[in-house]
Structure 1
């Protein structure tokens, strides 16, 4: 059985969903209440592969909200992730993906050092960040999206915003070794990590956002921020392909221009309907078939019986592992979301 650990996008969203799911005691509560709310299994999932095999999973709502980071309730955020992992393990889930901010919190605050959660010792091989599949899907969106828009990668400049993160660095490695992209612009907050990435790639220009974005034919946004960010559309190239792989995904609503094409990065479509309700709650356009690639990774690991933390540790994603997860992704009927 596979598991998905997720969370909702805001306090307002959480209150509305709680009401819809039949938890009236959560529906009118403020942030302090959600800081103490325990994790809940709120959905049972069935997925059928193109091979004909059907697997079952559970969705664990962590009750984490991005406002916890924005208001510096860091201890509450950490507790949410650890408690949700313990809840998944206690319920016998063999492989569970950490979705949204769950994996970011796990890595940023070194939660691998906190394996004891009350009377449960976390078995980390039961968990995956799902970032390898996400990086593969975003890389595929770059290649396939560019082709659909007539952007020649051999002449194109790609800016990777959040380049030193787990997903961003993996996308850079893929672009560097699996494509003939002309130029890669590297942007992130940590200059030391940027220099190390540039040294590893043997190429790429380190730039700030304001300098990089106007030069890019393709922008890969994989920086995650609890409040999002504003980008001036008038400064971007036309046409421009922008792949919004951050969290929350809000760039499509902010960048309204006919020659700027925004893809929801890291989203996959399944070939067959999935029996669940959770993607409708997080407002996917086609909730029966669309989902986060990180969630799909745990499904793929269950299909293949690879009960291991396939994606684990910061900047450990290799192009070879992206190839491997990409092959089984295609095998079981997943494809990158392309709505350009």
Structure 2
């Protein structure tokens, strides 16, 4: 059995969803209540592969909210993720994906050191961040969206914003060896990490985002956009492809140019309907078939019987593992969303 650990985008969103799911005791409560709320399994899932194989899964709502990332509540945030993992393990789930901020919090605060939670020994092999599949799907989105919109990668500049993160660095490595992209630009906060990435790849320019955007035919955005940042859409090339790999996805509301194409990064579409409710809650345009690539990774691992932490740690994703998860993604009927 596979599992998905997720969370909602805000307190208001959580209250609305709680009401829709029939959890009236949660619906009118404030942030203090949500900080104490335990994880819940709120959805049973059935997925069928195009091979005919059928698997079962469960969605674990962590009850984490982004408002908990404030310094005064960060202990609540970390506790939420660990408790959700314990809940998944106690319910016999073999492989569970950490979705959204769950994996970011886990890595940032090095929660892998926490192996004993009350009377439960946490088995790390049961969990995956899903980042390998996410990175693979974003790379395929770069290729396919570029082709769709008339951008020749062999003459193009691709900027990766968040280039030194787990997903961002994997995207850089894959594009470097699996495509003939002409130029790469790396954007991130830590200059030392950027220089190390540049040295490891043996190519690429390091620029601030304001200088990178006007040069870019494709922008892969896998970092949090600084609060209050505005994109000067008049400075963008046309055509231009923006891959919005953040969560929640909001770039389409910031960019309204006819020949600037915003793609929901890290989203896959399954060939067959999935029996679940949870994707309606996160407002997917086709909730029976569309989902986060990180969630799909746990499904793929279940289909293949790979009950192991396929994606784990920071900057450990290899091009070979991206190819491997990509192969089984195609095998079972998942494809990158480029609409």
Query: TM class by shorter-chain length?
Result: over 0.9
Q: 1:122-133 to 2 correspondence within 5 Å?
A: 122-133=122-133
Which residue does 1:237 correspond to in 2?
237
Which residue does 2:138 correspond to in 1?
138
Secondary structure of residue in 1 paired with 2:263 = strand
Unaligned runs of 5+ in 1: none
Secondary structure of residue in 2 paired with 1:177 = helix
Q: 1:169-180 to 2 correspondence within 5 Å?
A: 169-180=169-180
Which residue does 1:27 correspond to in 2?
27
Which residue does 1:275 correspond to in 2?
275
* Shift in Å, 1:319: 0.4
CA distance in 2, matches of 1:228, 1:248: 15
Q: 1:53-202 to 2 correspondence within 5 Å?
A: 53-70=53-70, 72-202=72-202
TM-score of the pair, normalised by structure 1: 0.98
Query: For residues 13 and 205 of structure 1, do their structure 2 counterparts lie closer, same or farther at Cα, with a shift above 3 Å needed?
Result: same
Query: For residues 229 and 296 of structure 1, do their structure 2 counterparts lie closer, same or farther at Cα, with a shift above 3 Å needed?
Result: farther
- How many residue pairs get aligned? The number is 339
Which residue does 1:246 correspond to in 2?
246
* Shift in Å, 1:150: 0.9
Secondary structure of residue in 1 paired with 2:256 = coil
CA distance in 2, matches of 1:85, 1:284: 25
Query: For residues 254 and 15 of structure 1, do their structure 2 counterparts lie closer, same or farther at Cα, with a shift above 3 Å needed?
Result: same
CA distance in 1, matches of 2:17, 2:226: 19
TM-score of the pair, normalised by structure 2: 0.98
Unaligned runs of 5+ in 2: none
Which residue does 1:286 correspond to in 2?
286
Matched, 1:297 2:297: yes
Listed one character per residue, the Cα deviations across residues 251-309 of structure 1 (whole Å, up to 9, x for unaligned) are: 01111110110000000000000000000011100000000000000000000000100
Secondary structure of residue in 2 paired with 1:283 = coil
Question: Residue 244 of structure 1 contacts residue 265 of structure 1 at CA under 8 Å; is this kept in 2?
Answer: yes
Query: For residues 39 and 226 of structure 1, do their structure 2 counterparts lie closer, same or farther at Cα, with a shift above 3 Å needed?
Result: farther
CA distance in 2, matches of 1:2, 1:240: 37
Query: For residues 229 and 76 of structure 1, do their structure 2 counterparts lie closer, same or farther at Cα, with a shift above 3 Å needed?
Result: farther
Which residue does 1:219 correspond to in 2?
219
Listed one character per residue, the Cα deviations across residues 231-260 of structure 1 (whole Å, up to 9, x for unaligned) are: 221221111100001122100111111011
* Shift in Å, 1:230: 3.3
CA distance in 2, matches of 1:226, 1:172: 21
Which residue does 1:5 correspond to in 2?
5
Query: For residues 57 and 228 of structure 1, do their structure 2 counterparts lie closer, same or farther at Cα, with a shift above 3 Å needed?
Result: farther
* Shift in Å, 1:224: 3.1
Query: For residues 133 and 229 of structure 1, do their structure 2 counterparts lie closer, same or farther at Cα, with a shift above 3 Å needed?
Result: farther
CA distance in 2, matches of 1:274, 1:128: 21
